Amino acid sequence: MKLVTVDRLQPGMVVAKTVFGADRQVLLASGMVVKPQFISQLRRRGVPSVYIVDERFPDIETADVVSAETRVEAMAAAKEVLSEVKDRAKSGLGKLTGTEARKVKDQVNNIIDELIQNRELVVNLTDIRAADDYTFGHSVNVCILSLMTAIGLGYEPQRLRELGIGAILHDVGKTQIPEEILNKPGVLSAGEFEEVKKHPTYGFEIVRRQDGLSSLSAHVAYQHHERSNGEGYPRGLIGTEIHEFARITAVADVYDALVADRVYRRGFLPADALDIIAGNAGRFFDPKVAKAFGDNIAPYPVGSLVQMSTKEVAVVVKVRRAYPRHPILRVIKDGRGHPVGEPYDLDLTQHRDVRIARAIDERGPVDPRDVKQLL
């Protein structure tokens, strides 16, 4: 399995992972042979990348922390709820109905159940999203990543539910912001950014006015852009003035934004995004939270290419939770860049003198200037 950009997708390739839209429709099914019209359809929908079958590694498979069915249902629910709130915003501040609150609760409960069952897994896959569905996929991913972090911190079920609801609704306040600002591909002007900075306050008001939702969930929406050093917004809170739920969601929010492929920019590789999070622990992020978060992410996901300290090139075969930076690799090129006659597996836990020097990004370069805007 290999992640390729739609620009590099070729007729005859075989899809390895189904691409879904946020309203449950299948855009491209696993096992389908790519045809020119499929590529055109993906471009129209703004799908940036697709997983395809790589015949060199037919035995490489990986499990997601949450099933495709649960993820798709959660995305559909997020789309339905946020779209309804956005429609109501035309006549004033949008609000949630009791039915919508129950729908969100049901999806969060389903996610929690699967995460607890799969707690030995780490995040290994990139979630593929169409451009129009980015917001809904982001909401679900931030919920999943926040809950995984909280499980690692020992949260009990009630706190998980309150956090999960806040995390999946963390950006509900953006339903009140003009779309031309939210979807602007370039750097926002000072005035536009001031408008965006209102969304946590809007989100707090929307969530807290629904009787069936906890005020702690509302504070996730309110505080997820606060930063430990006081440089966040809307109130410039410092350290533990920020509720831990929001400190968790802040890390998940930034990470998912960093790794997401967008039509106008490449996403960062997981290893690079994790380095950015770790490098800002203590400045922007709670160090304890950043550490618990990083424990749930494979820096070198299964199927990705890496270069070792020996200059050899390998594909990641297996990642174990206890040794995320020491995966099992399959060596495919020698130190001079020549294909090896017979690829062989190398367990880095058994070869501590060998390390991964860098991840290889076949999708193209990223712009480091994106980091400042995403933090």
Which of the residues are catalytic?
174
Determine the Cα–Cα distance for residues 264 and 198; give it in Å rounded to an integer. Answer: 24
As a dihedral over the C-alpha atoms of residue 263, residue 268, residue 270, residue 275, rounded to 10 degrees, the angle is -150
Task: Please give the Cα distance from 200 to 138 (Å, whole number).
Answer: 16
Burial of 341 (0-12, 13-18, 19+ CB in 10 A): exposed
Distance CA 17, CA 145 (A): 20
How many helical (H) and strand (E) elements, i.e. helices and strands, does the chain have? 13, 9
Which of 218-257 are b and which e, b meaning 16 or more Cβ less than 10 Å from the residue's Cβ?
A: bbbbbbbbbbbeeebbeeebeeeebbbbbbbbbbbbbbbb
Q: What is the dihedral of CA 243, 248, 254, 257, to 10 degrees?
A: -120
Kindly state the tokens that stand for 300: 């070198």
| Pairing, β 313-318 against β 305-308 | antiparallel
H or E stretch at 205: helix 199-208
For residue 328, give the 3-state DSSP assignment.
strand
DSSP state of 32: P
Tokens, residue 246: 């929001």
Cβ neighbors of 328 (< 8 A, separation 6 or more) are: 316, 317, 318, 345, 346, 347, 348
Q: Going by C-beta distance under 8 Å and a sequence separation of 6 or more, which residues neighbour residue 100?
A: 80, 81, 84, 85
Tell whether omega for the bond before 270 is within 30 degrees of 0, i.e. cis: no
